A and B are shown apart, each in its own frame.
Chain A
Amino acid sequence: MELARPYTAAFASRFLLMLQYRAAAFAGFLTQCWWGGIKVMVYAAFFRGATVTAPITLSQVITYTWLAQAFLALAPWGCDPDVALAVRNGSVGYDRLRPVDNYGLWYARAAGWMTSRAIPRAALMFLFAGVALPLAGLADWSWAPPPSVAQALLFAVSLPFVVTLSSAMVMLLNIAVVAILNDRGVNSLLSPLVIVFSGNLIPLTIFPDWMHVALFVQPFAGLVDIPFRIYTGNLTGGAAWAGIALQALWTIVIVALGRAWMARVMRRLAMQGG
C-alpha cells in the first residue's frame, strides 16, 4: 500500500482533474454518436447485400460498434499532453527529482488520464445507444447486453487489460516525445495503425480468413477487437481466454520495451537552458 502510494495518488489526481472537463466529454460523445450511427447504417447495408455468411452477425457488429465508440478514449491516440507540456517547458527535469520509478509514475498518470476521459463518454453512450434507442423502438439498432453471464464476466476481465495495454503504448509515445522533444509528429505516428489493427475501423474478423491469426496475435487487437467481440459473444471459451492472455502478454512486452527505452533516453536527457 505504502509502496504504491505515489502511483495511486498520481492516478487519482489526474483522474479527478480530467473528470471536470464536462464540455469536452459531451462534445466527444456527440461526435461518437454521429460516427456510430453512420457506421451502423453502413454495416446494415453491407450485411443485407452480402452473398456469403459473415463470421459475425449484424446485431453483434452493431453492439461492437457502439462499444468501440463508447470506449474510443481508451485507445493510444497520442502521448499524454502533460508529458508533452513538461518536455516543452523543461519541467520534465522535476519528474527526475521525485523519489519514485519514473516509468511507473507516468504510466499511472497516463492510465488516470485515459480512464477519466473514457468513463463519462461511455456512460453517455450507454444511455443513448443502450437505453434511449430501445425505448424509441429501435432495439435492432441498439447496444445490446452480453448474451450470457459467462461472456459478461470474461468482458469484465478483458476491459481492464485494454487500459493496461493502451497505457503501455501511450508510454512509448511519451518516451518518443522526450527523446525528440516534440509531440506533433509522434502523435500522428501510431493513429493509423490503431485505427486499422485495433478493429476500430471494422472488426478484425471481417478481414479475409487467411489474415485472421496474424490479426489476432498482433498487439493492437487487444485494444478493441478482443474485448468487444468477447462482449458480443463472438469470441467465446478458449478463444476468449487466449485473447485475454494476449492482452496481458502484450502489456508485459510493451512495458518492458518502454522501461528499457526510457532508461536510455533519461540518461541522455539534458535539461536545456535556464
Chain B
Amino acid sequence: MTHIVVEELAKSYRVAERDPGVFGALKGLVRRRTRTIEALQGVSFTLERGELLGFIGPNGAGKSTTIKILSGILEPDAGRVEVDGLVPHADRIKHVARIGVVFGQRTQLWWDLPVVDGFELLRDIYRVDRAAYARTRDELVAMLRLERLLDQPVRQLSLGQRMRAEIAAALLHEPRILFLDEPTIGLDAPSKLAVREFVKRLNRERGVTVLLTTHDMHDIEALAERVIVIGHGRVLADGTFNALRARIAAEQGPDDTDDQLPIEQVIARFYHLHGATEA
C-alpha cells in the first residue's frame, strides 16, 4: 500500500539581501531587496508502507524542505502531496497525530525538564492512553538504553544521549511513519551505530515507514534499500544504493570504474557531475 505520494512539488522562499557595509545598510533602509530561491522545483516520488527511504543531497538541495512539507509545517506552492490519504498542511492536526518527526538540529524536549517529564507532557499533548504510554515508553527505554537518562534535565545530556531521547520522544504516540532529518549529525561512532540499529529494528520489526535525510553515506549504506538523490530541488536519482553506484561508475566512463573509491567520493562526484553543489 502506498504511504506517501508526492507529485511535482514546488516551493520557493524569498530571502532578504543587502549590499555589504554602511552604504549597503543605508540603501537597505530605503529599498528592500529580496531574492527568490527555488527550494523545490518538481519533486515526485512515492513511498510504500513499511519502506525505508534515504534522502541525500548537498546542503541546500531541498531535503529538509521536503520533510517539512511532508510533516505539514510548510505549505507547498504547487504540486500534490498526500501522506496516508491526508494532505499534511490542510489536515494538519489529524495528520501530525499519525507521524513522528525528529529534526537532528533542533530539540523537541523541554530544556529544563527531566527527560521523563518531557515524555509525560508529550503523552498528554498527544492524548495517549496511560497504559499504552507506559508500555511504549518501557519498550523505547529498553531499545534505546535510556534507563539512566530519564531523571536528568535535557540540558545536561550529551548530544548522543539527547538524540536517543529525541527519537524516543517522537515515537511515544506510536506513529506509522517516522521522518528523521539528519538524525546522526554530530554524533560519535557508538551513538551513530545505536541510532542506525534502532531505526533498522523499528522498520523491520514494527513495520514503521521511515524517511530519513543524512549527509553520512554510512547511514545510507547501513539502512536504506532505496535512495533518492536530490539536488537543486529536483530528484536526480531514485533507486537502490548499488544501482546508484553503478550509474555513477557508468557516467564516469570506462577508464574510471574504481570500485574501491570511498563512498563519500562517489557521492561528491555525482553531485559535481549534475552541477548540484551549493552556491
Binding site for B on A (CB under 8 A): 2, 5-6, 8-10, 13, 17, 89-91, 93-94, 96-101, 105, 267, 269-271, 273-274
Contacts and interface: CB of A to CB of B under 8 A. Distances in A.
A270 B71 contact: no
Interface string B117-159: 1001100111100000000000000000000000000000000
Interface of B: 13, 64, 68, 71-75, 92-94, 96-97, 99, 101, 103, 105-108, 110, 112-113, 117, 120-121, 124-127, 181-182
18 contacts: A10-B121, A10-B125, A13-B113, A89-B106, A90-B106, A91-B107, A93-B68, A93-B103, A96-B72, A96-B92, A96-B96, A97-B71, A97-B72, A97-B99, A98-B96, A98-B125, A99-B97, A101-B93
Most buried by B among A13, A90, A93, A97: A97
B117 A13 contact: yes
A34 B72 CA distance: 51
A125 B72 CA distance: 47
A6 to B, nearest CB: 4
Contact of A99 (B75, B96, B112): B96
B125 A100 contact: yes
Contacts of B94: 99
6 closest A-B pairs by beta carbon, nearest first, are: A9-B124, A99-B97, A6-B125, A94-B108, A91-B106, A274-B105
B127 A2 contact: yes
Contacts, number: 77
Contacts of B13: 270
Contacts of A271: 68, 73-74
B125 A274 contact: no
A274 B124 contact: no
A236 B84 CA distance: 59
A101 B93 CA distance: 8
Contact of A274 (B72, B126, B181): B181
Given A94-B103, A98-B96, A9 B72 contact: no
A98 B124 CA distance: 11
Contacts of A96: 72-73, 92, 96
Contacts of B106: 89-91, 93-94, 274
Nearest to A100: B125
Nearest to B126: A99
B210 to A, nearest CB: 17
A93 B92 CA distance: 13
A270 B74 contact: yes
Most buried by B among A8, A91, A99: A99
